[in-house]
């Protein structure tokens, strides 16, 4: 089945949306309020990174926002060399400021789409991608992005993802969306729910967890790991031999 994405936001439109929304992404202790278990998933992916790649020296945070995931990782592994990547210049400014304050390692920023940037192959011991890969569109786009993740991961390194997901079964999708809708109402009412769901409809194209795990194996990762799943979100990773 051919699916078009003409109704979805472009990369430039996504960049513009986040340029003036920096403060929402600075809540290290709670994470984004629109994501159930956000703080737990952030903790899990950073702890998993530490135990699977204990000798890490160089990390890349894709879609880093204001730098929360890198900051969380630095609590356990201080003084890493940290690469921060985001579409938004304002996000990168805030992330560099916060990360540089807590590490003596080199902090490098990359502004742009990670699929297009010339990142060095096999150079990152840890790659983190939180709430960013759901912007990928068709299957070719997903495979190209995951192949690049594999290419830039160092041997023995790992990739850790926390993100919005969909479900293969329409009936299960309906159940999970209902639970997520109830969660959003509990956070800040029906207006907040409508705002978040409208943004997802305009911006996001999530894929099932099983699709992503299979794709990580297909592009070359030797092992995949599921850390957590709650209604429409999951935290998971992959290890490169």
Share of the chain above pLDDT 70, in %: 98
Contact call for residues 83 and 74 (beta carbons, < 8 A): no
What does the pLDDT average to over 30-48? 92
Q: What is the CATH number of the domain that holds 194?
A: 3.40.50.150
Q: Is the residue at 3 inside a domain?
A: no
Task: Count how many domains the chain has.
Answer: 1
Mean pLDDT of the chain: 93
Q: Is the residue at 1 inside a domain?
A: no
Residue 232 lies in domain: 11-239
Q: For residue range 159-169, list pLDDT tens digits in order.
A: 999 999 999 99
Residue 12's pLDDT band (boundaries 50, 70, 90)?
A: confident
H-type helices in the chain, by residue range? 11-19, 38-52, 68-76, 89-100, 139-152, 170-203, 209-219
What does the pLDDT average to over 127-144? 96
Residue 19's pLDDT band (boundaries 50, 70, 90)?
A: confident
Q: Is the residue at 2 inside a domain?
A: no
Q: Is the residue at 158 inside a domain?
A: yes
Q: Is the residue at 38 inside a domain?
A: yes
Residue 3 has pLDDT above 60, yes or no: no
Q: What is the pTM of this model?
A: 0.93
Give me the pLDDT at residue 167, please. Answer: 97
Residues contacting 170, CB < 8 A, separation 6+: none
Residue 214's pLDDT band (boundaries 50, 70, 90)?
A: very high
Q: For residue range 65-82, list pLDDT tens digits in order.
A: 999 999 999 999 999 999
């Amino acid at each position: 089945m051919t699916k078009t994405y003409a109704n979805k936001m472009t990369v430039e439109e996504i960049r513009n949306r986040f340029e003036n929304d920096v403060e929402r992404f600075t809540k290290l202790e709670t994470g984004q309020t629109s994501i159930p278990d956000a703080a737990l998933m952030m903790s899990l992916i950073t702890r998993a990174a530490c135990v699977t790649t204990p000798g890490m020296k160089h990390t890349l945070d894709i879609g880093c926002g204001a730098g929360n995931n890198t900051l969380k990782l630095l609590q356990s592994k201080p003084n890493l060399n940290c690469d921060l990547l985001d579409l938004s210049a304002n996000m990168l400014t805030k992330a560099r400021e916060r990360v540089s304050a807590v590490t003596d390692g080199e902090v490098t920023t990359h502004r742009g789409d990670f699929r297009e940037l010339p990142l060095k192959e096999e150079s990152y011991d840890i790659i983190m991608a939180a709430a960013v890969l759901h912007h990928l569109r068709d299957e070719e786009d997903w495979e190209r992005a995951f192949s690049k993740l594999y290419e830039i991961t160092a041997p023995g390194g790992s990739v850790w993802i926390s993100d919005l997901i969909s479900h293969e079964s329409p009936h299960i999708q309906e159940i999970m969306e209902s639970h997520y809708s109830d969660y959003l109402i509990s956070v800040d009412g029906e207006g907040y729910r409508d705002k978040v769901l409208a943004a997802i409809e305009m911006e996001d194209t999530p894929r099932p967890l099983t699709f992503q795990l299979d794709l990580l194996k297909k592009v070359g990762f030797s092992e995949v790991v599921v850390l957590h799943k709650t209604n429409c979100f999951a935290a998971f990773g992959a290890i490169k031999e």
